[in-house]
């Protein structure tokens, strides 16, 4: 077995390219996965552009589908050859944050006082846009793929399905709720599906790209609104007789965050998925001067093998055409082209698939 | 029975004074209460100063203790002479908001699309700094005072106990949580008691007035911090090993709101009670760019007779020295002096009691 | 306007038949509804058979669709001619139970210490298998039918949709849960739809009637099990790798209740809808001697106009073929035939529709 | 270092006695703790009597206080000499049950389909009535004792405080609730404290032993009832105007379970802690034929280091005289005498302390 592998490596602002790097060896509690499929996330593009800092030389990527190649000591119940996925967030299951029910804020043995500590792949440790990836806390994170599901069908579970669905979950969508989802990129489309899954009777999808709005209908939207054509907040208030029960921010813009607050009814919830790059404002009027009984939640993609098992069970139940979100396949050797296409949102791309 | 009564009336910015006004007659579903004790709230001071708009000629005040004088048609199960309190917020129990579990956003028959609709006394209808007050939706709002409790003991239930406790409730304080309460005015002191009541094992009270910090200890604070003496956010992080589980804003300042966000741990909750007079900012760093799994809730004082019954049961259980929050008694005839004392926070005043 | 009306009246064990009775006049807070469509519930059959005691002379029925004929004093925001439905349970919204979030246990002004107090129509007051029905606490209970929905489409909202969905709600079904529904009568079929609506990824329907199992698939079941053909508990454990997350009892038999307990995994939930006629047993083994972290909930059909609004919004969203549950139309004059057909479950009947 | 240690070993029905056994060596993810204090639980007495089956030769006991002696590979962040406690239940944090929020039903790598899988010490692996104990999944279970707390102060955290408090938590006690706790043994007394901690305004303690009722008052009971003197269910209904919000079963008797059901109001909750030895009955009347909107939960002692940290923070806050529950100290050499005293409930014993 070769001692090196090919991997997509961050090489300074503006450059993610392939490089031969040492193939990792699993230590205690770790597993080595041979990657069979992965994808590129919007966050990876932020890394490429130098907008999110990671160290030079880091292998990027956090959405692995693969096969168990080697198990480190202490990992039980798996075998070489098992087909698995691993969530983008890899909680240890054993720290204060994990044991408190906020596993995405995992402290990996520490106190959990650093936010977003659960996100390690392609952030604080090597990621999965590579031939192999080392999985930390493997016992908590290796999720077996059920027979009958192809790699492409589960590729979106590690991040965008988990993130998208969390909006409805954290927003406590109830049967018969009205939910509006701002922005219908891959995460937003999964949020739309999640709102539908959670029992909303009126799911309103907002975007400006007609193709995305069309896709939103297929992902469960009852009504779609193009913000270029109308005052969407006013229209949402009209459709919902005073404001949506839950508004989901799936873009990461301060202005959208504000629109969400304006779109909910008194007592409503803003469920934020966006990754923001500046301070946010809570307008006094939309916040009823503090007297509106509103709830504002944000979420980092839930991970762990049980989360992945649940998401794959939803894929298996064929509730939505998740697979069609994958619009462009690439080989790992073509990853720079894939980044180029995806980062410029050309050719109607939703998600790419990268096959090592 | 005289056809008029004495009442404290808003007479334009800067003037709340007594006036003889017609005594109301209860219509269907209403009750007339003879007020035996009431108090002045910080919101009343905002009204006095013209910072919160109400119509000229409105009777102000929203914290009534009294006796049933007359029942309108359709109010059952009460009798003239019953001692009652009524919450500051008077939900109808029968509109969309009330039936959805956000009764403070009551639409009083309408759709509930206007925020804070449940607050009517001294806001949209005549209030209780008067000899009599008309109670709307009396069936849902007249809460009988248990035998053995004096007027002074239940005077704080209609607003500050209900508001203060809601911070812990809406913030989902759990057994063993660490909770910090910013500002130890009457509401903040009740929030401190509420955090203690809800099972926090570390209640941290923040203020700059030594007497208020001393009182905070008696209301359940385990630790008190004077923000003039230290960097309280840093100290909170030290005491809690990374951030409090819940931070409560009990002042209504944008800066305090930000401090609360900085004081909580990843996955933590900001529970806001403040009434703000400007936009609020969510700092990018404190919000972990949207990835911190934080929850931000705000609350308007819960009302209704069942809420009042529960609060009075807590008073009756003698868990805390609530009554000592009432520092200065006045007669209704002296209400201008009471406003003067209370609005200038002279003489160590916490809450005044006004006896018609 | 005639002073009498035709109504189906309980006339002693074994006899429900038409009788001319005085047409009621709405008092304070009440409304008179001209019934345009109603149905027969399993509970009505229990009444007919003398298994559930009501007083002689009572007008039966609790699922009204109709038109506002006359409003009593104090009912605001409605007009004669408004098309409305009213829930089987008519909470007042203003008593201790209602204000505590358990409106089905409404005390209608009293303390709420009598169970199931919210069920009044055809139980403690005259019901709606009649030309007219008097609605108590009309402000909380008149739910306007949205334009575009026919009477037949909303006929099931007052009881079986509300009851059926409550199983998933009270059972806290989460995205990706496995849920088994025992019995696929009308309530069970709605429970199946409710589990699907609430985001279960594996909905298992159990019955012995092939047609009902077929219908269950159309109502959202992923798998159907015929208990005459197999050991369903064993099969459920196999399908769910150890037990369902939630099991729903929709029959009202002690044995089914036990099967539900045996079908759930440790930490799972039994959500009971059944109306039982004998004591229930919790088997020691299925209960893990008390150490299984199980939850057992039962539910009485939620009512009130907001509940009805939500249910009608789900009908309007066309998620499921609810209307096809109505298999047999009758005129009010034929109600004895309708009872005969329904009580004997002849001719594949699911629900009848009765048109006065 | 000696290769053997002294341990209390189950030697067949009726016999738990000291024996020299091999001292364990920690493997991957494990830790060896030198026990400095432990105690005997009611469950141990069941084991002694042969009522709960364990294998011959098992070291019993599940409530360890001690010092880290040796860490197995992969356990990070601890050092030899650290003072720690470990919960009676030792979740792995990494299996389906743990990652689903029901850690007491831990599958330790498996599917979690066996109930109560989280209880290992003195049940499926060697326990801690010994000089040393091997801790599985140490990373998730070693809880450092805060400076300033003596062994005796934290001895009750591993089981009875955790179990007792879970009744209020699982029962969702809210501020102002009325809660009745049936049986005031060590667990029941902690349940009483837990109800008080969680904000109940009326905590009613039931027992027949005057000394226990006296102690209950010190643990937070507002009212105590001796079931030998009165019809406690009737008295509870009187005190609560129709039934308690939550009733806690802390004995493990079918009759007490029934009394709990009868003591709660419609919509109320039965929170069961008891370990039962026979089937339970749900009486039709107390269950309102299934229409009472009741909730019945049972709980197995929550474990894990975060749980222990929280419990120790409650001890440190000095809310209740937990330490006084420890009435009789013994040396390990005297353990047979300790069992004799404890199992016969002689001499007013509440809990014994065993010091190796």
* Sequence-separated (6 or more) residues with CB below 8 Å from residue A183: A206, A207, A249, A250, A251, A256
Among B30, B1, B8, B3, which residue's Cα sits nearest to residue B134? B30
Name the average pLDDT for chain D: 96
CB contact under 8 A, B168 and D175: yes
Among D176, D201, D310, select the one facing B176 at the smallest CB separation: D310
Among D165, D175, D201, select the one facing B169 at the smallest CB separation: D175
Q: By CA distance, what is A307's nearest residue in C?
A: C176
For chain D, positions 261-290, list CB contacts with chain C under 8 A: 265-267, 272-284, 287-290
What pLDDT score does D114 carry?
83
CB contact under 8 A, A311 and C199: no
- Domains of chain B, with CATH numbers? 4-160+301-355 (3.90.180.10), 161-298 (3.40.50.720)
Residues from chain A that touch D105, judged by Cβ atoms under 8 A, are: none
pLDDT digits (tens, 9 = 90+) for D178-220: 999 999 999 999 999 999 999 999 999 999 999 999 999 999 9
What pLDDT score does C1 carry?
54
CB contact under 8 A, B99 and C304: yes
CA distance B77 to chain C (A): 7
Q: By CA distance, what is C308's nearest residue in A?
A: A176
| Binding partners of A (≥3 Cβ pairs within 8 A) | B, C, D
Q: Is C60 on the interface with A (CB under 8 A)?
A: no
CB contact under 8 A, D201 and B319: yes
CB contact under 8 A, D93 and A96: no
Q: Averaging pLDDT over each range in A150-154, D49-53, D108-112, which range is the top one?
A: A150-154
For chain C, positions 222-241, list CB contacts with chain D under 8 A: 237, 241
Q: Is B304 on the interface with C (CB under 8 A)?
A: yes
What pLDDT score does A234 carry?
98
Beta-bridge partner residues of A70: A32
CB contact under 8 A, A306 and D140: no
Among D73, D77, D309, select the one facing A28 at the smallest CB separation: D73
What pLDDT score does B109 carry?
62
Name the average pLDDT for chain A: 96
D67 pLDDT more than 90 = yes
pLDDT band at residue A9, thresholds of 50, 70 and 90? very high
What pLDDT score does B2 carry?
65
What pLDDT score does C293 carry?
97
Q: By CA distance, what is C244's nearest residue in D?
A: D113
pLDDT digits (tens, 9 = 90+) for B101-133: 999 999 886 655 688 999 999 999 999 999 999
A·B CB contacts under 8 A: 159
CB contact under 8 A, C139 and B76: no
Tell me the pTM: 0.97
Stretch A293-310: mean pLDDT, rounded?
Answer: 98
Q: Is D175 on the interface with C (CB under 8 A)?
A: no
pLDDT digits (tens, 9 = 90+) for A207-247: 999 999 999 999 999 999 999 999 999 999 999 999 999 99
What pLDDT score does D282 carry?
97
Cβ proximity of B235 and B227 under 8 Å: no
Optimal mutation site among D147, D201, D304, interface B, most CBs of chain B within 10 A: D201
| Binding partners of D (≥3 Cβ pairs within 8 A) | A, B, C
Among C151, C159, C124, C136, which residue's Cα sits nearest to residue C32? C136
CA distance A135 to A85: 10
Q: By CA distance, what is D138's nearest residue in A?
A: A94
Cβ proximity of D140 and A91 under 8 Å: no
CA–chain centroid gap for C19, Å, is 26
C28 pLDDT more than 90 = yes
Optimal mutation site among D79, D99, D104, interface A, most CBs of chain A within 10 A: D99
What pLDDT score does A108 carry?
80
pLDDT digits (tens, 9 = 90+) for D214-268: 999 999 999 999 999 999 999 999 999 999 999 999 999 999 999 999 999 999 9
CB contact under 8 A, B74 and C74: yes
DSSP reduced 3-state for D115: coil
C·D CB contacts under 8 A: 159
Stretch C254-282: mean pLDDT, rounded?
Answer: 97
Percent with pLDDT over 90 in chain B: 96
Name the average pLDDT for chain B: 96
Residues from chain C that touch B99, judged by Cβ atoms under 8 A, are: 93, 103, 140, 304-307
pLDDT digits (tens, 9 = 90+) for C109-151: 665 568 899 999 999 999 999 999 999 999 999 999 999 999 9
ipTM for the assembly? 0.97
D108 pLDDT more than 90 = no
Residues from chain A that touch B267, judged by Cβ atoms under 8 A, are: 97, 100-102, 104-105, 112
CA angle A201, A202, A204 (to 5 degrees): 150
pLDDT band at residue B333, thresholds of 50, 70 and 90? very high
Percent with pLDDT over 70 in chain D: 98
Optimal mutation site among B101, B144, B177, B199, interface D, most CBs of chain D within 10 A: B199
Residues from chain D that touch B316, judged by Cβ atoms under 8 A, are: 201
CA distance A100 to chain C (A): 17
Optimal mutation site among D298, D302, D307, interface C, most CBs of chain C within 10 A: D298
Residue carrying the six token digits 């029959």:
C251
Residues from chain C that touch B306, judged by Cβ atoms under 8 A, are: 96, 99-100
Cβ proximity of D41 and D62 under 8 Å: yes
Residue carrying the six token digits 């209602």:
C98
Q: Pairing mode, if any, of strands B65-71 and B16-22?
A: unpaired
Cβ proximity of A23 and A3 under 8 Å: yes
- E strands present in D211-314: 223-226, 244-249, 264-272, 280-282, 295-298
A1 pLDDT more than 60 = no
CA distance D327 to chain A (A): 33
What pLDDT score does D2 carry?
65
Among A103, A137, A306, select the one facing D96 at the smallest CB separation: A306
A111 pLDDT more than 80 = no
Q: By CA distance, what is B93's nearest residue in C?
A: C93
What pLDDT score does A261 carry?
98
CB contact under 8 A, C266 and D105: yes
Stretch D88-106: mean pLDDT, rounded?
Answer: 96
pLDDT digits (tens, 9 = 90+) for C196-212: 999 999 999 999 999 99
CA distance C101 to chain D (A): 9
Stretch C320-343: mean pLDDT, rounded?
Answer: 97
C177 pLDDT more than 60 = yes
Residues from chain D that touch B319, judged by Cβ atoms under 8 A, are: 201
Q: Is A106 on the interface with B (CB under 8 A)?
A: no
Q: Is D194 on the interface with B (CB under 8 A)?
A: yes
CA distance A53 to D354: 54
Query: What angle in degrees, to the nearest 10, is found between the helix axes of A232-239 and A254-263?
Result: 30
CA distance A289 to D209: 55
CB contact under 8 A, A29 and D140: no
What pLDDT score does B110 carry?
62
* Sequence-separated (6 or more) residues with CB below 8 Å from residue D147: none
CA distance A278 to chain B (A): 6
D112 pLDDT more than 70 = no
Among A77, A99, A307, select the one facing D140 at the smallest CB separation: A99
Percent with pLDDT over 90 in chain C: 96
C21 pLDDT more than 60 = yes
CB contact under 8 A, C304 and B100: no
Among D264, D213, D261, which residue's Cα sits nearest to residue D237? D264
Q: Rounded to 5, what percent of chain B is helix, strand, coil?
A: 30, 25, 45
Q: By CA distance, what is A195's nearest residue in C?
A: C199
CA distance A349 to chain C (A): 28
CB contact under 8 A, B290 and A275: yes
Cβ proximity of D312 and D300 under 8 Å: no
pLDDT band at residue A135, thresholds of 50, 70 and 90? very high
Q: Is A165 on the interface with C (CB under 8 A)?
A: yes
B·D CB contacts under 8 A: 56
Cβ proximity of C260 and C248 under 8 Å: yes
A89 torsion bin: left (phi>0), alpha (psi -120 to 50), beta (else):
beta
What sign does the dihedral A159-A163-A165-A170 (CA atoms) show?
A: positive
CA distance A179 to chain D (A): 26
């Amino acid at each position: 077995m070769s001692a090196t592998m090919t991997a997509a490596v961050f090489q300074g602002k503006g450059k993610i390219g392939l490089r031969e790097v040492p193939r990792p060896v699993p230590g205690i509690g770790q597993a080595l996965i041979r990657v069979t499929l992965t994808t590129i996330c919007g966050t990876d593009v932020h890394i490429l552009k130098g907008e999110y800092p990671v160290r030079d030389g880091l292998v990027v990527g956090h959405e692995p589908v693969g096969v168990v190649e080697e198990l480190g000591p202490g990992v039980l119940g798996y075998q070489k050859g098992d087909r698995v996925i691993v969530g983008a967030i890899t909680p240890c299951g054993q720290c204060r944050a994990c044991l408190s029910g906020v596993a995405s804020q995992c402290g990996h043995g520490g106190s959990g006082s650093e936010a977003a500590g659960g996100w390690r792949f392609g952030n604080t440790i090597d990621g999965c846009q590579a031939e192999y990836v080392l999985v930390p806390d493997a016992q908590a994170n290796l999720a077996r793929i059920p027979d009958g599901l192809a790699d492409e069908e589960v590729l979106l579970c590690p991040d965008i399905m988990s993130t998208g669905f969390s909006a409805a979950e954290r927003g406590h969508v109830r049967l018969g709720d009205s939910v509006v989802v701002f922005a219908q990129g891959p995460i937003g489309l999964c949020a739309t599906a999640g709102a539908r899954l959670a029992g909303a009777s009126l799911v309103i999808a907002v975007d400006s790209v007609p193709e995305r709005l069309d896709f939103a209908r297929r992902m469960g939207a009852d009504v779609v609104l193009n913000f270029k054509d109308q005052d969407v907040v006013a229209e949402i208030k009209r459709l919902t007789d005073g404001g949506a029960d839950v508004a989901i921010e799936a873009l990461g813009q301060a202005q959208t965050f504000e629109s969400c607050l304006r779109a909910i009814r008194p007592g409503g919830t803003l469920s934020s998925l966006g990754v923001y790059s500046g301070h946010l404002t809570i307008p006094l009027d939309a916040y009823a001067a503090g007297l509106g009984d509103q709830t504002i939640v944000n979420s980092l993609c839930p991970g762990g093998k049980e989360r992945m098992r649940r998401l794959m069970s939803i894929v298996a139940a064929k509730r939505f055409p998740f697979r069609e979100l994958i619009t462009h396949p690439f080989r790992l050797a073509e990853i720079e082209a894939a980044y180029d296409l995806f980062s410029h949102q050309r050719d109607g791309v939703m998600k790419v698939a990268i096959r090592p």
